[in-house]
A and B are shown apart, each in its own frame.
Chain A
Amino acid sequence: MNNIFVYCEITDDRTIADVSLELLSKGRKLANELKVKLEAIVIGSELKGIEKDIFPYGVDRLHVADDSRLYPYTTLPHAALIIDLFKKENPEIALFGATSIGRDIAPRVASAMRCGLTADCTSLEIGDHFENKSQTEYKNLLYQIRPAFGGNIIATIINPETRPQMATVREGVMKKEITDTKYKGVVEQLDLTILKDDDFVVQIIERHIEQSKINIKNAQVIIAGGYGVGSKENFNMLYDLADVLGAQVGASRAAVDAGFVEHERQIGQTGITVRPKLYIACGISGAVQHRAGMDQSAQIISINTDVNAPINNIADYTIIGSITDVLPKMIKYYKANSK
């Protein structure tokens, strides 16, 4: 069986993006299970010594393209280099971050490879498959698991025939884990001679990238609001509670779509995945896409007017009531009783 490849994204300060390190960690586990090697791809400029950041995640082979034309990212040259590599190496599995870069490049690569691609997976597993129609047994496929259409279903997607089996995964879904600080792989250079002038027809004229000021990914306590919060003004109660508790405010997609909060706060399958000590879900029904991003929280409190809201099933405490009633009481108690 061939190897697992992870496309690693480079940040402005020339470090490897978290989502890529998370994918390397997952890739290492999958590689162990399949008894294959883990390979990483880094494309950019000024990458000297980058292997030091990558090998500890259990990477056996690192493919590097280091050229001033390759940073900041543009689609065509990166895609050309990856497609060229994939055609030579025929990877078993290829993983990309579900970021603005990963979701730009992965479909282009999949189209050129004529292989399948599953976006926003919430879990990746190895398993077998028996195709009834052709009576064919497939061993050790990548199960690409994600909530599907409508929300109350979880779909397992497979690519029995085509390679690589490709998937994108959001930041935070997989855990970042160093395999061994002394792990050593080999470095190989990608073939830059394949790049044509036409690969550089899209030119970057201006670029403003800011570090996100919102950091809910690592918050210990998250107060998340849903459509049930009702308005942008009502969200102020969540900020107030977050302020006194030193917590961060998160949101469901319905709350984001309604314009109550910024998109950066969205939690779930197409938002951020969080694992705080305490998650307070305010006026959130608990659709599967939302739960995908928060069900690993250590403790969950649900505040909801509906006893039957699905979120209550995974909550440790369910407060039946309106947030307009409950949140001020929580703030008042905390102010009066904490040091």
Chain B
Amino acid sequence: MSFKIIVLAKQVPDTRNVGKDAMKADGTVNRAALPAIFNPEDLNALELALRIKDKLVDCEVIVLTMGPFRAAEIIREAMYRGADKGYLITDRKFAGSDTLATSYAISLAVKKLEPYHLVISGRQAIDGDTAQVGPQTAEKLNIPQITYAEEIIDVDQTSITVKRRLERGVEVVKSKLPVAITVHSSAPDCRQRVTKLLMKYKHCRTVTELQNETKDYTELYNLRPYLQLNEWTVDDLHADVSMLGLSGSPTKVKKIENVVFASKDSKVLSSSDADIDGLMKELLSSHVIG
């Protein structure tokens, strides 16, 4: 049986480049001002999956992403780099899901893809840095987890050996399969797009995307059925709606506050010799330094 790897990847706003226009006047986040990107550690996760594929040859890498329609971009991007196919989990009813509801939906999708060998995700998504979806999905699937993976040392049809990056060191662990792995940013960077794959997959679309296309893809898709990207809704997953979205999310946001800082009356100095010397003299005489 071919070795099946499911990679969990999320499209996130690029919070690393939050500029001054990232916040609207009313204090809410201006998502439009933030480019949507492939969550960085999910690219590391994809790379580890692709390395296993390189090694095992008879191996299928499937990308799973949950998000709005445009998150299909993540699947295409992954396919340009070597993934075989992908599924977009998308439904209005998912809106407002916290990590518990998200991992419930993702675990249902993973179960639909059974039998699988590995579920590989990023350690955390940069929009919240929660690092919860990986372990929670593992729990819902009732499989073991290996967090903070940096390197796959060995893998065969029944077991995997992984190097983990911890706060103050490393650990090598071995587990039987299937197992869920979350990948740390210290893992190798993801390979770039492959031109051949870009050409092959650039017309990949989900059903929803096809509806908005002006061009008629019918003929092309009859010829190349693999171009059709899969979309799964709540119904496809046979999900219990009460466990999704806001109602399925135990965490509620009670309050969002704009941070207003009572400014201290700060002394403003220039970088002139006199100002710096004066400050240093003051710090020395008050024994803050020295």
Contact = CB atoms under 8 A, between A and B. Distances in A.
Main secondary structure of the interface of A (DSSP, over half): mixed
A318 interface: yes
A47 interface: no
A320 B271 contact: yes
Interface string B126-149: 011111111110111000111110
Contacts of A247: 289
B284 interface: yes
Contacts of B249: 116
B171 interface: yes
Contacts of B283: 278
Interface string A296-339: 00010110000100101111111111100110011001100111
B259 A154 contact: yes
A288 B259 contact: yes
Interface size class of B (residues with CB under 8 A): 35 or more
A277 interface: yes
Contacts of A193: none
Interface of A: 72, 74-76, 79, 99-100, 103-108, 110-112, 114-120, 129, 143-144, 147-162, 201-212, 221, 245, 247, 254, 257, 270, 277-278, 287-288, 299, 301-302, 307, 310, 312-322, 325-326, 329-330, 333-334, 337-339
A326 B276 contact: yes
A112 B16 contact: no
Contacts of A257: 16
B239 interface: no
Contacts of A201: 144, 175-176
B115 interface: no
Interface string B149-176: 0000000000001000011111111111
Given A104-B135, A114-B100, A278-B288, A315 B27 contact: no
Contacts of A329: 271, 273, 276-277
Contacts of A155: 253, 255-257
Top 9 A-B residue pairs of the complex, sorted by shortest distance between their CB atoms: A321-B271, A116-B250, A116-B251, A209-B169, A111-B139, A107-B132, A111-B136, A206-B172, A107-B135
A256 to B, nearest CB: 11
Contacts of B267: 316-318
Given A151-B18, A209-B168, A334 B280 contact: yes
A168 to B, nearest CB: 9
Nearest to B27: A153
A301 B279 contact: yes
Given A278-B288, A321-B270, A149 B171 contact: no
B176 to A, nearest CB: 5
Contacts of A338: 284, 290
10 contacts: A75-B144, A111-B140, A150-B18, A153-B23, A157-B253, A201-B176, A202-B146, A205-B174, A257-B16, A313-B263
B277 A333 contact: yes
Interface in B222-264: 249-259, 261, 263-264
A204 B270 contact: no
Among A111, A210, A211, A315, residue most surrounded by chain B Cβ atoms (within 10 Å): A111
A195 B149 CA distance: 25
Given A100-B147, A108-B139, A114 B174 contact: no
B15 interface: yes
A108 B144 CA distance: 10
A149 B27 CA distance: 12
Among B13, B148, B171, residue most surrounded by chain A Cβ atoms (within 10 Å): B171
Nearest to A337: B284
A191 B134 CA distance: 28
A116 B284 CA distance: 49
Given A204-B173, A316-B266, A338-B284, A154 B257 contact: yes
Contact of A333 (B22, B99, B258, B280): B280
